[in-house]
């Protein structure tokens, strides 16, 4: 039966390992708190802008297919150009939102 012997700390390391250089060691910078807290609203900003872009495209498609001239919907004539313009504005706002959500990296 083996008796537990006290642990010798020098025994756990290779004899020549302490003298070898691993090359230049750089310190890893911890992420700053402000950077982490700004990143979350930027992600939300991208998500909301993507949702607005999808809504703008869907509205434009609906305005030009359901309310097409000669259709039997009975919608007023001014509704198609109005909804098309609203869709373009919504899509443009989404594009600006995606640009703005990227922050200074986009400049």
pLDDT tens column, 20-72: 666 676 777 776 877 777 788 888 989 999 999 999 999 999 998 888 777 67
Hey, CA dihedral for 7, 8, 11, 13, is it positive or negative? positive
pLDDT at position 106 over 80: no
Residue 15's pLDDT is: 54
The pLDDT value given to residue 58: 96
- Residue-wise pLDDT for 68-105, tens only, equals 777 677 778 888 899 999 999 999 999 999 888 877 66
**107 or 29, greater pLDDT:** 29
pTM of the model: 0.62
Q: Could you give the CA distance from residue 66 to residue 80 in angstroms, rounded to a whole number? A: 9
Cα 54 to Cα 91: distance, rounded to the nearest angstrom? 8
22-58 b/e (C-beta count within 10 Å ≥ 16 → b): eeeeeeeeeeeeeeeeeeeeeeebeeebeebbeebee
């Amino acid at each position: 039966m083996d008796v537990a012997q006290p642990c010798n700390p020098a025994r756990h390391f290779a004899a020549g390992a302490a003298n070898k250089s691993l090359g230049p060691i750089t310190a890893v910078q911890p992420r700053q708190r402000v950077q982490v807290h700004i990143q979350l609203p930027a992600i939300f900003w991208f998500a909301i802008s993507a949702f607005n872009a999808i809504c703008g495209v869907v509205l434009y498609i609906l305005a030009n297919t359901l309310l097409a001239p000669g259709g039997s919907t009975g919608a007023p004539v001014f509704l198609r150009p109005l909804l098309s313009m609203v869709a373009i504005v919504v899509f443009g706002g989404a594009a600006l939102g995606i640009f703005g959500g990227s922050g200074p990296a986009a400049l």
